[in-house]
Amino acid sequence: MTDFFANIAPIAFEGADSTNPLAFRHYNPDEVVMGKRMEDHLRFAIAYWHSFAWEGGDPFGGQTFERPWHPQDQMATAKIKADAAFEMFDILGQPYFCWHDADIRPEGDSFAESLKNFEAVIDYFGEKMSSRDVKLLWGTANMFSHRRWMSGASTNPDPDVFAYSAATVKTCMDATLKLGGENYVLWGGREGYETLLNTDMGRELDHMGRFLNMVVDYKHKIGFTGTILVEPKPQEPSKHQYDYDAATCFGFLQKYGLENEVKLNLEQGHAILAGHSFEHEIATATALGVLGSIDMNRNDYQSGWDTDQFPNNVPEVALAYYHILRDGGFSTGGTNFDAKLRRQSLDAEDLIAAHVGGMDICARGLKAAAAMIEDGGLDAALSERYAGWDTDAGKAMLNTDLDTLFNQVHSGSIAPAPKSGRQEILENYVNRFV
Ligand code: XUL
Ligand code: CO
């Protein structure tokens, strides 16, 4: 037991009228939405890196947080950190958490020593998980912070770093399997370039494709039944990242024969950095059949960098869940709060309140999305807009050729009549629900 969260009781659902800052007003795990418990729809996870490993630094200043588990370079403090993390999970009652290897264990002097530390913490997690309901949504390897990864992991010009990456991912997949994790994530923060002057892009892409195939082969070899997920992001820390956005990732997966093996973990802030909306990324992934999981957060629209703030915009979140629900909802995926406090938010209470607010916003978004689906107004508008394609004449157009269509248009038997796209009417419709 730590006393980091002392005096903070488990968070209860008190309903929309509650003024208690540490109560859920909308997230009611047992409430049934579209035939399923809210908890089972949203599948919330807490990100170990932001909540426990990050120390409050930014590009202009260092640590602002002083936690009982600092400094984080010892096994003893790794255990205190784990104790505090599971105490927070008990307070929030979310069903999942996520980690990178480097978040949870101190780096050793060698690969073998780092692995020994990592395995000890994984066993410690296993003990804690055995007496609780909390599960692992996904594990991942941090292959971007240590200087060895500065020129990339699987895309590094040095083959020894490719090998080191393979060894690292193997250990993280083993640990994910051991803890019963439901997904394994690869986010390639340094899989990209700083300048094309020193980069052989074609070779690096081939190496990344080969690496991902090795990951999928290993998944099958060890009997991991979870989903392998790639997380798109256009840049930061690299000037350009190869996994730029959902569409780019799908093209990559297809080129390397992985489109039926790997799905995507989409993050709100990464969508914004790519010049998209979150629902654009989700709709792209659902259209291509590769939606896996989401990292929920928000970016500051003015700063232009990845601020990883907690979500607080119901209309945005509602449209995201609208596309997720229309795709049938999550299977192995979930809603991971890849979100961190502002560096001035020093207190344990800030960490709890941030997650309470994020969970409530998502619950509101989910309820609004479900109400729109149950009302059916957007689907009806879509059916009406595309109705021409359901007619025999419309269907025939996809099974003919340019000459035939030319003749029909030229003879005047086909003459398009423009119709309203009704955008404002649809926006007003959405506003009734959010
Ligand atoms: C970085 C980011 C990562 C991944 C996991 O922007 O989102 O935390 O989610 O490596
Ligand atoms: Co993320």
Which residues are CB-contacts of 136 (< 8 A; sequence separation ≥ 6)? 96, 97, 98, 99, 125, 129, 176, 179, 180, 181, 182
Q: How far is CA 361 from CA 31, 34, 210, in A?
A: 15, 18, 40
Tell me how crowded residue 255 is: count the other CB atoms within 10 A of its CB.
Answer: 12
Longest dimension (CA), the chain: 82
Evaluate: CB of 233 within 6 angstroms of ligand 1: yes
Among the listed residues 179, 183, 182, 154, the one whose alpha carbon sits nearest the alpha carbon of residue 166: 154
Q: What is the pLDDT of residue 395?
A: 97
The H or E element that residue 139 is part of is strand 135-140
Task: Please state the residue numbers annotated as binding site for Mg(2+).
Answer: 231, 267, 270, 295, 306, 308, 338
Contact 314, 365 (CB under 8 A): yes
For strands 227-230 and 262-267, give the pairing: parallel
Contacts of 210 (CB under 8 A, 6+ apart): 154, 256
Predicted confidence at residue 304, as pLDDT, reads 83
Whole-number Å distance between alpha carbons of 12 and 21: 11
Ligand 1 atom closest to 270 (CA): 6
Q: Which residue minimizes the CA distance to atom 3 of ligand 1?
A: 187
Query: Are 4 and 84 a contacting pair, CB within 8 Å?
Result: yes
Strand, coil or helix: 101? helix
Contact 247, 234 (CB under 8 A): no
Ligand 1 in reach of 187 Cβ (< 6 A)? yes
- Do 105 and 78 contact (CB within 8 A), yes or no? yes
Residue 243 Cβ < 6 Å to ligand 1: no
Residues flanking ion ligand 2, Cβ below 5 Å:
267, 295, 338
Whether 231 lines ligand 1, by a CB cut-off of 6 Å, is yes
Burial class (CB in 10 A: 0-12, 13-18, 19+), 126: middle
d(CA 55, CA 33): 37
pLDDT given for residue 292 in this prediction:
98
**Position in ligand 1 atom list of the atom nearest CA 144:** 10
> Consecutive sets of 10 residues in the chain, 434 residues long: mean pLDDT of each?
94 98 98 98 99 97 98 98 98 98 98 98 98 98 98 98 99 99 98 98 98 99 99 98 99 98 98 97 98 96 91 97 98 98 98 98 98 98 98 97 98 97 98 98
Main-chain phi, psi angles of 111, to 5 degrees? -60, -45
Looking at the CA of residue 189, tell me the nearest atom of ligand 1.
1
DSSP letter for each residue of 185-250: EE--TTSEES-GGG--HHHHHHHHHHHHHHHHHHHHHHT--SEEEE---S-SSSSEESS-SHHHHH
Locus of tokens 């494709």: 209
Helical axes 246-255 vs 278-288, angle rounded to 10° = 30
Whole-angstrom Cα distance, residue 98 to residue 140?
8
Strands 36-37 and 291-296: unpaired
- DSSP letter assigned to residue 78: H
How many angstroms separate the Cα of 122 from the Cα of each of 168, 258, 342? 15, 29, 29
Q: Which protein residue has the closest C-alpha to ligand 1 atom 7?
A: 338
Supply the pLDDT for residue 211.
99
Residues classed as catalytic: 100, 103
Report the atom number in ligand 1 closest to the C-alpha of 47.
8
3-class SS of residue 119: helix
Give residue 384's pLDDT: 98
Pocket flag, ligand 1, residue 306 (CB < 6 Å): yes
267 pocket-lining for ligand 1 (C-beta < 6 Å): yes
Q: What CATH homologous superfamily does 32-375 map to?
A: Divalent-metal-dependent TIM barrel enzymes (3.20.20.150)
- What single letter denotes the amino acid at residue 38? M
Instruction: Decide if 182 contacts 227 (C-beta within 8 A).
Output: yes
Cβ atoms of residues 336 and 311 within 8 Å: no
Q: pTM (2 decimals)?
A: 0.98
Q: Where are the domains of the chain?
A: 32-375, 380-431
How far is Cα 319 from Cα 335, in angstroms, rounded to an integer? 14
Separation of CA 190 and ligand 2 centre (Å): 14
